């Protein structure tokens, strides 16, 4: 009985996945040609991460030289 229950759940899962995947991969209609694309802001977070990484690297180098 337990194996039958697992088989039914497995088949139901496969059926659900096979029904929902085409919808998940579908692409929307897009934009009209007259819409201007604005670039995403790239400076704020990337600069902060780069400075933090450089500081962490410098700290690691100094700590390794002290030993």
In a domain, residue 53? The reply is no
Q: Which two tokens stand for residue 23?
A: 């919808």
- How does pLDDT run across 9-50, given as a tens digit for each residue? 999 999 998 888 777 676 777 777 787 878 777 777 888 899
In a domain, residue 59? The reply is no
Is the Cα dihedral 20, 21, 22, 23 positive or negative? positive
pLDDT confidence of residue 14: 93
SS3 6: helix
In a domain, residue 42? The reply is no
Tell whether pTM > 0.75: no
Domain hosting 3: range is 1-25
In a domain, residue 15? The reply is yes
3-state SS of 23-36 is HHHCCCCCCCCCCC
Between CA 47 and CA 54 the distance in angstroms is 11
pLDDT beyond 80 at 53:
yes
pLDDT confidence of residue 26: 65
Q: Looking at the 3D structure of the chain, how many domains does it have?
A: 1
pLDDT confidence of residue 34: 80
């Amino acid at each position: 009985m337990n194996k039958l229950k697992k088989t039914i759940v497995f088949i139901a899962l496969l059926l659900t996945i096979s029904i929902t995947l085409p919808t998940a991969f579908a692409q929307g209609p897009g934009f009209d040609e007259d819409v201007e694309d604005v670039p995403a802001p790239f400076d704020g977070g990337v600069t902060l991460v780069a400075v933090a990484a450089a500081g962490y690297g410098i700290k690691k180098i100094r700590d390794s030289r002290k030993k």
